Amino acid sequence: MSSKPSKQRLNLIEAPPHRKRKLLTARLSDELISKYGIKRIYVRVGDTVKILRGDWAGHEGKVVKVSLKKCRIYVEGVTIKKADGTPVYYPIHPSKVMITKLDLSDKWREKIINRRRKA
């Protein structure tokens, strides 16, 4: 592995989707860790997250969009205004958020949790 920042960025940009997906994990809250027995899980649309770092620290909202290409998530209520006044979602890195409520409407997600649960 090269230590040059430009090559590190290029590796992230050109990474295959299965590797980029692993970058979209976020920490669970303490209550969810004790309930499900896992510490991290992939962020999905519908999860409720709390932002821990940056200008939006402390804000809590639902995930509206997950961008695999940019490795960013977009949270409800976290918007900035463009020059013409229209609001757009502000991109946030998933490592800077904590999942406070999981969206378990998908049966596959429950299978992932059960598979990764500590014995």
Domain spans of the chain?
26-116
pLDDT digits (tens, 9 = 90+) for 87-100: 999 999 999 999 99
| Domain at 26-116: CATH architecture | Roll (2.30)
Q: What is the pLDDT of residue 119?
A: 58
Confidence of residue 2 (pLDDT cuts 50, 70, 90): confident
pLDDT digits (tens, 9 = 90+) for 5-64: 999 999 989 999 999 999 999 999 999 999 999 999 999 999 999 999 999 999 999 999
| Cα 22 from Cα 69, distance rounded (Å) | 13
CB of 46 closer than 8 Å to CB of 62: yes
CB of 41 closer than 8 Å to CB of 99: yes
CB of 38 closer than 8 Å to CB of 118: yes
